[in-house]
């Protein structure tokens, strides 16, 4: 007869895997860009990386998706958009008490303005357009990891 004291049963192994999966937090990323093809590409990259993605075609639509009960973990935004551009979106997010701490990543071809926002501390990261999928995924991974580390230090 086989000694089972030192090897967990198959049921226990499955239970352990389910617990581990439940402990992994999926980040919710709000992607804001007026170009639908860019939103689709960013969505695909981030979903493959395991994130949940919400989309908005401009800053005003993005703000309408955010509430104290529905806060994204990260906002990824372009700068040049109609209705409410990325710079105005960032200003409004940073001025709100509930949204001020949401990490923001700028994905833009306007690098002077994007890096100015980064240098002034208004955004956490900048990714230049056109972008490499691996670089975007790595950037978001770093931002979500930093955010998770900050939460653990505060808690």
At 71-116, the pLDDT tens digits run 999 999 999 999 999 999 999 999 999 899 999 999 999 999 999 9
* Contacts with 95 (C-beta within 8 Å, 6 or more apart), sequence order: none
pLDDT band at 154 (very low <50, low <70, confident <90, very high): very low
DSSP character at residue 28: E
Q: Which CATH superfamily is domain 31-147 in?
A: Response regulator (3.40.50.2300)
Burial class for 69, CB neighbours closer than 10 Å (0-12, 13-18, 19+): exposed
Q: Are strands 125-128 and 104-108 parallel, antiparallel or unpaired?
A: parallel
pLDDT at 150 exceeding the cut of 80: no
Distance CA 93, CA 14 (A): 42
Burial class for 94, CB neighbours closer than 10 Å (0-12, 13-18, 19+): middle
The percentage of residues in the chain with a pLDDT greater than 90, rounded to a whole number, is 68
pLDDT at 128 exceeding the cut of 90: yes
Distance CA 85, CA 82 (A): 6
Question: Within 10 Å of residue 32's Cβ, how many Cβ atoms?
Answer: 31
Kindly state the tokens that stand for 130: 């056109």
* pTM metric for this prediction: 0.79
Sequence-ordered strand ranges (E) for the chain: 28-32, 52-56, 74-77, 104-108, 125-128
The string of pLDDT tens digits covering residues 33-44 is 999 999 999 999
């Amino acid at each position: 007869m086989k000694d089972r004291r030192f090897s967990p049963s198959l049921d226990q192994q499955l239970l352990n895997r389910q617990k581990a999966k439940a402990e992994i937090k999926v980040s919710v990323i709000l992607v804001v860009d007026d170009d639908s093809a860019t939103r689709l590409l960013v969505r695909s990259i981030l979903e493959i990386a395991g994130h949940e993605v919400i989309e908005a075609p401009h800053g005003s639509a993005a703000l309408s998706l955010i509430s104290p009960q529905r806060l994204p973990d990260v906002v990824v935004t372009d700068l040049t958009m109609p209705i409410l551009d990325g710079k105005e979106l960032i200003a409004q997010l940073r001025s709100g008490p509930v949204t001020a701490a949401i990490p923001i990543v700028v994905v833009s071809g306007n690098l002077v303005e994007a890096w100015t926002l980064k240098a002034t501390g208004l955004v956490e990261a900048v990714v230049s357009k056109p972008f490499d999928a691996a670089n975007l995924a790595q950037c978001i991974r770093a931002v979500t990891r930093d955010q998770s580390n900050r939460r653990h230090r505060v808690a």
